[in-house]
Structure 1
Amino acid sequence: MPKTVQIRDIDDEVYAALVQRAAAEGITVPELLRREAARLAARPSVAQWLARTGRRPSEISTPEVLATLDEWRGDWPHAGR
């Protein structure tokens, strides 16, 4: 069942920006906020993201990554001058 959310004390500048953005997309401010709320709810929190990505062990060390990048880039144009 859909819920209603009320946001109080929105600054005039913020509301004006929301009105402009909604108008540019051809929708109402409530529809814009519904879309943004759905996007926000679908994303993991920073803590969830860090926990998820922090558990993935990497078999490649930082020096190996840097060496590979240096190899891909090649010599600097003015190196050795």
Structure 2
Amino acid sequence: MAKAVQIRDVPDDVHAVLARAAQAQGLSLTKYVLRELEHLARRPQIVRDNAATVRRTQQRVQGEADRETILAVLHEGRGE
């Protein structure tokens, strides 16, 4: 079951930025903030998944593969 979250003391400038961003995407402020919270909640898992991918890649190449090398190979594979 979904839960309610209430956030107090949001600074006026932060509220205004969020409201403009929501409007620009055709969303209500509530739906926009919910989407952003969902993304934020998933971020640690994304970071763990990325770290696991780096470790697997390093094992496959049997050596160190730094971030730049991995990104270069990804971009090359995508034709970028």
Report TM bin, short chain. Answer: 0.5 to 0.7
Shift of residue 8, structure 1, vs aligned partner: 1.0
Structure 2 CA distance for partners of 1:41 and 1:61, relative to 1, 3 Å: closer
Higher Rg: 1
Q: In structure 2, how many angstroms separate the alpha carbons of the residues matched to 1:41 and 1:12?
A: 24
- Aligned identity (percent) is 39
Partner letter of residue 63 of structure 2?
I
Backbone CA RMSD of aligned residues: 2.8
Give the TM-score, by structure 2 length.
0.58
Indicate the residue corresponding to 2:17 in structure 1: 17
Structure 1 counterpart of 2:18, which letter?
L
AA of the residue aligned to 2:24: A
Shift of 1:4: 0.2
How many residues matched? 63
Q: What is the CA distance between 1:60 and its match in structure 2?
A: 2.4
Normalised by the length of structure 1, the TM-score is 0.57
Q: Return the alpha-carbon distance in structure 2 between the equivalents of residues 49 and 10 of structure 1.
A: 32
**1:53 to partner: Cα distance:** 5.8
Change (3 A) 1:27 1:51: closer
Aligned match of 2:6: 6
